[in-house]
Amino acid sequence: MQFLIITRLLISAILANFAVTFLATADEQPGDKFRGGEVMERLQARGTLICNVDTTPGFAAVSAQGDWQGFEVDFCRAVAAALFADASAVEFTRLSSKYKFQALSEGKVDLVLSVTTWTLGRDRSWPIHFTDPLLYDGQGFLSHRNDAIDSLVDAKDATICVQENTTTYQNLKNYIDRHQLAVKLRLTRTTEERYTLFAQRACKLVTADATTLAGFAAAQPNGNEKYKMLDLIISREPLTPFVADSDPVWFDLVRWISHLLIVAEEHGVTQANVDKIRQQSDNPELRQILGLEGELGQLLGLSDDWGYQVIKQVGNYGEIFARNLTPLGLQRGKNALARDGGLLYSPPFR
Ligand SMILES: N[C@@H](CCC(=O)N[C@@H](CS)C(=O)NCC(=O)O)C(=O)O
């Protein structure tokens, strides 16, 4: 009996020892360095990023000089700065809200933003992964100020313009059914069509993600006098960049770019001071991010100075917000850092 117990103890000691050795070995090779899949290979061969955006004021638009500008454009540029040390190495595409999921699955684009809400249904219905929310939004309504419509109840029998194949449409239908509203819907295919019909008064109201409505109103001549946001938000719309699910390194890379932008703001690192901070900082997290210590870049298949390149060429989250969305009258609100009462919070860089 005693012999049996001793044998068992010996066997479990050997097994435990084996497990410890095995885990230690696995731990010594975190991520096996760079093991990129098909998207990383494609990007390295092409040398440019193909990023899908939507033309919406503040989010993505082509300037009079022919340059792409906007909050989403800057995120694409941040990814290109990390990948190629060149924020201009981006080709922008524009796909319909219906086709963008398929195009990504087929490898026609590398990264999609275009004001897309992360939902469980989309995550599971397509071979895609949403990264982390870049902007916390909600669905709002814009009216013509002189119609004096202050609520959806006032909007009785009115037509509402809404884009097809969006969460916006589904949310609105559910809201109308639940509140038994007598409004009519006019489905549109593009952002331009939605706003043109509204501006021409073919619709009394237009509904979309509230930040994009505010952006549209602010970008029109006298827009804020002509149009009015209803005091109603009917959903949660975490707008989130997404990638094909075929390449785990690519997924990690994109999500850590969002975290980098946030943590840079938290540490007060800006485009203007990044060179000085890089020379002087003894903060371990900053030294890792700026490529002075550690091998975090290599774990993502990037060069050590990836974080430096992103901040130097594009700036931190707060700078990107201030450049593109503050001029449209948008407040940080939920999109402030967690320490300032918002929802932005980065896991540690180490
Ligand atoms: N956040 C909503 C709305 C998305 C949405 O409306 N996206 C528009 C831009 S605001 C779009 O992709 N439009 C494509 C186009 O107009 O071609 C969703 O994810 O369904």
Assessment of whether the complete model's pTM goes beyond 0.85? yes
Q: How far is the CA of 306 from the centre of ligand 1 (A)?
A: 30
Mark out the alpha helices in the chain (DSSP H runs).
2-28, 38-46, 71-84, 100-105, 120-125, 167-179, 191-199, 210-219, 223-226, 248-266, 274-280, 284-289, 296-299, 306-313, 317-324
Q: For residues 71 and 147, state if they share a domain.
A: no
Q: For residues 112 and 252, state if they share a domain.
A: yes
In order of 26, 257, 267, 347, the CA distances from 284 in angstroms are 25, 18, 12, 14
Q: How far is the CA of 122 from the centre of ligand 1 (A)?
A: 14
Asked if residue 13 belongs to a domain, the reply is no
Q: For residues 98 and 132, state if they share a domain.
A: yes
Of the listed ranges 149-153, 239-243, 321-325, the one predicted with least confidence: 149-153
Q: For residues 125 and 44, state if they share a domain.
A: yes
Asked if residue 33 belongs to a domain, the reply is no
Grade residue 134 by pLDDT with cuts at 50, 70 and 90: very high
Asked if residue 304 belongs to a domain, the reply is yes
Asked if residue 90 belongs to a domain, the reply is yes
Q: For residues 118 and 254, state if they share a domain.
A: yes
Give pLDDT, residue 23. Answer: 43
Asked if residue 121 belongs to a domain, the reply is yes
Most ligand 1 atoms within 8 A of CB, residue of 71, 125, 166, 240 to mutate: 166
Asked if residue 26 belongs to a domain, the reply is no
Residue 108 above 80 pLDDT?
A: yes
Q: Report the alpha-carbon distance of residue 224 to residue 298 in Å, rounded.
A: 48
Q: For residues 52 and 95, state if they share a domain.
A: yes
Count how many domains the chain has.
Answer: 2
Q: Which domain holds residue 51?
A: 38-136+239-340
Give pLDDT, residue 15. Answer: 46
216: phi then psi, degrees, rounded to nearest 5? -60, -50
Regarding the beta carbon of 266 and ligand 1, being less than 6 Å apart is answered: no
Residue 349 above 50 pLDDT?
A: yes
Residue 205 above 80 pLDDT?
A: yes
Give pLDDT, residue 156. Answer: 87
Q: How many C-beta atoms lie closer than 10 Å to residue 296's C-beta?
A: 18
Q: Exposed e or buried b for every residue in 208-229, given b needs 16+ CB within 10 A?
A: bbbbbbbbbbbeeeebeeebbe
Q: For residues 260 and 328, state if they share a domain.
A: yes
Query: Of all atoms in ligand 1, which is nearest to the CA of residue 209?
Result: 1
Q: Report the alpha-carbon distance of residue 330 to residue 324 in Å, rounded.
A: 9
Residue 33 above 60 pLDDT?
A: no
Q: For residues 262 and 116, state if they share a domain.
A: yes
- Of all residues in the chain, the percent with pLDDT exceeding 70 is 90
Q: For residues 54 and 202, state if they share a domain.
A: no
Regarding the beta carbon of 167 and ligand 1, being less than 6 Å apart is answered: yes
Give pLDDT, residue 9. Answer: 47
Q: What is the mean pLDDT of residues 163-192?
A: 96
- Nearest 5°: the CA angle 61, 63, 66 is 110
Q: Integer distance in angstroms from the first to the last C-alpha of the chain?
A: 51
Residue 7 above 90 pLDDT?
A: no
Residue 32 above 60 pLDDT?
A: no
CB 247 within 8 A of CB 40: yes
Give pLDDT, residue 162. Answer: 98
CB 210 within 8 A of CB 235: no
Q: For residues 268 and 298, state if they share a domain.
A: yes
Regarding the beta carbon of 188 and ligand 1, being less than 6 Å apart is answered: no
Give pLDDT, residue 2. Answer: 53
Q: Report the alpha-carbon distance of residue 238 to residue 108 in Å, rounded.
A: 24
Residue 324 above 80 pLDDT?
A: yes
Q: Which of 211, 235, 259 is the last residue of a domain?
A: 235
- Nearest partner of 227 among 159, 146, 158, judged by Cα: 146
- Of all residues in the chain, the percent with pLDDT exceeding 90 is 86
Query: Of all atoms in ligand 1, which is nearest to the CA of residue 114?
Result: 12
Q: Which of 191, 215, 235 is the last residue of a domain?
A: 235
Estimate the crossing angle of helix 306-313 against helix 248-266, to 10 degrees: 60
Asked if residue 303 belongs to a domain, the reply is yes
**Tokens 């371990």 -> residue:** 284
Q: How far is the CA of 162 from the centre of ligand 1 (A)?
A: 10
- Across the chain, mean pLDDT equals 91
Residue 170: give its domain's CATH number.
3.40.190.10
CB 159 within 8 A of CB 138: no
Residue 341 above 90 pLDDT?
A: yes
Q: For residues 127 and 145, state if they share a domain.
A: no
Residue 13 above 80 pLDDT?
A: no
Asked if residue 29 belongs to a domain, the reply is no
Q: For residues 128 and 244, state if they share a domain.
A: yes
Residue 342 above 80 pLDDT?
A: yes
Q: Which of 235, 260, 294 is the last residue of a domain?
A: 235
Question: What are the pLDDT digits (tens) for 250-288?
Answer: 999 999 999 999 999 999 999 999 999 999 999 999 999
Q: If you take atom 12 of ligand 1, which residue's CA is the nearest one? A: 97
Structure tokens at 138: 């909600």
Residue 35 above 90 pLDDT?
A: no
Q: Report the alpha-carbon distance of residue 347 to residue 289 in Å, rounded.
A: 13
Q: What is the mean pLDDT of residues 130-155?
A: 95
Give pLDDT, residue 31. Answer: 45
